[in-house]
Structure 1
Amino acid sequence: MKEHSEIPLRERNIVLIGFMGVGKTTIGQLVAKKLYRDFIDVDQEIENRCNMPIPMIFEQMGEDYFRKVERELIVDLCTNTRLKIISLGGGAYLQEEVRNACLSHCIVFFLDLSWEYWKDRLPLIVNSRPLLKNKTLEEVEQLFFKRREAYSLHNSRVLTNELDPETAAEQIVESIKLTWDLYQPHDK
């Protein structure tokens, strides 16, 4: 396993974190296209490996099983792959092992969306997110702010309130290219 400093900056995976429904998959696909990299949606990858949708995994196997599969997959991707754009599920980054792997081996972007903007998306995503089912708006708001603490540990933040996915992706790409240019002389 290579340490962070040994992986050339240009080869590090780029990980997108943020609350469920902020646009990590949509924006991640656009970033991948712009940087000519493969895109991996961790939730989609878990569904493929388990051969069932995430709500069914939660229902039949439980959240603990899901989190274990999620953790193992993300740690493996962070430590054993390069040149990927990886979108994490909203709860994945709460796991310390996941955070450590992402921050040690990748470039982590927090896609930040204010509660005021996010709650307008709730009706569009509530049925596909097991953790939102049967929760009041107040309970969802508590979950939203509780997770922000974990999300605060990142390399860069993009506030997406007023941004369409294309603009958000472009900001990420510009930021990455600027970082690559700044640190190129020191890269090995």
Structure 2
Amino acid sequence: MKVDHESLGRTLVFIGFMGVGKTTVGELVADRLDVPFKDSDEEIVKAFDEMTIPEIFHTYGEQAFRNKEKETILQLIDAEKQVLSLGGGAFMQEAVRQKCLEEAVVIFLDMTFAAWKERFPELISSRPLLQTKSMAEIETLFAERRSLYDAHHIRVLTDEITPEEAAEQIFQSLEKLDR
């Protein structure tokens, strides 16, 4: 069965470490399905009157950000069928993880740490958690989060493929899930 917006039964949720391409690939998938695309981080920024995520962390703290993140994601999962990209730490929250696994199709964009490190220079300015950690601490965080990401419906290793190839692998996996 070909997957399209009529056959999409549930929201697709993209998870993975910061900077792995969840937004890029998610937008490609949403375009092809002709469904809305939402990025949970962008929705949180809107809720904080367009403050950047680093500004939210600095002004209100990580806990305030995580609380708004959980509230936002739970509302988005209950909304119309769509493609949703979660911030890298969102899946750490049990309520978010459970809701996504029960009511959505969770797609884990995986990447090795070696491949991720190549992206680090372009990520650091917009990721508050990266700005205060050593590379060893980031690698530990990467491993901790990766163990949470193991709860998923579809996994795509993105190290050596383009976003378009990742999207195609997702569609092939969705068709298999649909059978």
Interval containing the TM-score (normalised by the shorter chain): over 0.9
Alignment partner of 1:136 is 2:134: yes
Give the aligned length. 173
Secondary structure of 2:64 counterpart: helix
TM-score (normalised: structure 2): 0.93
Runs (5+) with no aligned partner, structure 1 = 1-7, 183-188
TM-score (normalised: structure 1): 0.89
d(CA) in 2 for partners of 1:68 and 1:161?
32
d(CA) in 2 for partners of 1:35 and 1:88?
19
Q: Is the 8 A contact 1:18 1:90 kept in 2?
A: yes
Structure 2 equivalent of residue 64 of structure 1: 63
How far did 1:9 drift? 7.3
Structure 2 equivalent of residue 43 of structure 1: 41
- Of 14, 29, 32, 1:31 maps to 29
Structure 1 equivalent of residue 3 of structure 2: none
d(CA) in 2 for partners of 1:9 and 1:106?
14
Q: Which amino acid aligns with 1:135?
A: K
d(CA) in 1 for partners of 2:129 and 2:149?
18
d(CA) in 2 for partners of 1:100 and 1:31?
23
Q: Is the 8 A contact 1:35 1:173 kept in 2?
A: no
Q: Is the 8 A contact 1:11 1:82 kept in 2?
A: no
Structure 2 equivalent of residue 146 of structure 1: 144
Runs (5+) with no aligned partner, structure 2 = 1-5
Larger helix fraction of residues = 1
Q: Is the 8 A contact 1:113 1:161 kept in 2?
A: yes
Alignment partner of 1:73 is 2:67: no
RMSD: 1.3
Q: Is the 8 A contact 1:17 1:90 kept in 2?
A: yes
Select between 168-177 and 12-21 the one with higher mean Cα deviation: 168-177
Q: Which amino acid aligns with 1:81?
A: A
